[in-house]
Structure 1
Amino acid sequence: MASPWATPDELRHHLRLATIDEAQAAAAIAAAERVIRAEIQQTIDLVTDDTAYVVGAGRQLVNLPEWPVTAVTSVHQDGELLEHGEGYRWNRFGMLTRLPGRWPLDAEIVVVYSHGYATVPAAVKQVCLQVAGRAWARPSTAVSAESLGDRSVTYDKDRTGEALTEYEQRMLQPYARGNESR
């Protein structure tokens, strides 16, 4: 993976603290990144020469799973190398168009491409700091139920700060892909 989306010092400023345990802050930021990636089902970080395997659906377009697409190195359809501009074209939104015609039904399409952001978008970074900040501020309040006989403890993700709020989900929506791309 690329470098962290935020630094412990940025989390310290976000929380308005004089000092912060850098290792714990880095762990909270990494956990927030995992939560966000799982929510939007995107890597976000810039990845060069990633390989995607997609299947033709008898349509002119197939969607690549990650975006924004920054470059397409090669496209093979059922083992045959296609030429850019003659066999296919692509756009930054991850749409791969077959030229001419359609991608054959059940055709194996192997795409080597680059995708993601060189600099994490500000909205994504803000959500990361918010999630990490909640997890930092409420690490011990995660218990939602506790029993005494035979000791049983139930934890609540909403209370640990790991669950995204509706507002944060809306902030991340522009960076998420729909199910049709998977």
Structure 2
Amino acid sequence: MATPWATPEELRAHLRLAAIDTDQAATAIAEAQTVIRGGIRQYVDQVEADEAFLVGNGRTVINLPEMPVTTVASVSQDGTALTAGTDYRVNRHGILTRLGGCWPLDADVEVTYTHGYADADRPAVFKQVCLQVAGRAWVRPSTAVSAESLGDRSVTYDKDRTGEALTSYEETLLEPYARGPESR
């Protein structure tokens, strides 16, 4: 299991509270991490020996689904092992390049690789945004009502105010770490 990006004590300090329920704070932090992961379409934490099953696209590059890529253990095309430096190369941004040609259309490409950030290497922006999102959820967990009806009782919550969505500023901060839809 991944290490939390922030602690309940850090959330307490961020909110300038005298005390905080550590279990509820830990839950808010975990939920904030989920919101961030969904917003940038990346797991973020380091995963070793992860397997990606991709499909050849008829081009020279395929994007691996997670980044940063730290090591690649193996790459195979339709069950045939490929050699790094001769058949393919990969960069930290997850761009897998087929050397001397293209990835055949509809070919099965299997990659075993390590990706993500170790705890000590995770950029500070993740903790900052995590505390902001968790802080919004803590301060306004259920008071962010954007619409309410009386007949048959209907309540609509504003996800931007409950911490369930990233603000445009937070999306801008996280943009360098996001992966586009082409990799999915």
Shared fold per TM-score greater than 0.5: yes
Q: Who is 2:62 aligned against?
A: 62
Q: Which residue of 127, 134, 156 corresponds with 1:132?
A: 134
Letter aligned with residue 146 of structure 2: S
Q: Which residue of 143, 146, 161 corresponds with 2:145?
A: 143
Q: Who is 1:102 aligned against?
A: 102
**How much does 1:68 deviate?**
0.4
Say how many residue pairs are matched: 182
- Structure 1 CA distance, aligned partners of 2:160 and 2:115? 32
Letter aligned with residue 9 of structure 1: E
Q: Who is 1:73 aligned against?
A: 73
Moved more, 79-88 or 21-30: 79-88
Q: Which residue of 162, 168, 171 corresponds with 1:169?
A: 171
Moved more, 158-167 or 146-155: 146-155
The alpha-carbon distance between structure 1 residues 86 and 18, as it changes in their structure 2 partners (threshold 3 A), is same
Q: Which residue of 154, 157, 160 corresponds with 1:155?
A: 157
Q: Who is 1:22 aligned against?
A: 22
- Structure 2 CA distance, aligned partners of 1:150 and 1:102? 59
**How much does 1:161 deviate?**
2.3
Q: Who is 2:84 aligned against?
A: 84
> RMSD value over aligned CA atoms?
1.2
2:48 corresponds to 1:48 = yes
Structure 1: unaligned runs, 5 residues or longer: none
Moved more, 1-10 or 156-165: 156-165
TM-score of the superposed pair, with normalisation by structure 1: 0.95
List structure 1 segments (4+ residues) > 6 angstroms apart after TM superposition: none
- Structure 1 CA distance, aligned partners of 2:160 and 2:14? 20
Question: Does the residue aligned with 2:37 lie in a helix, a strand or coil?
Answer: helix
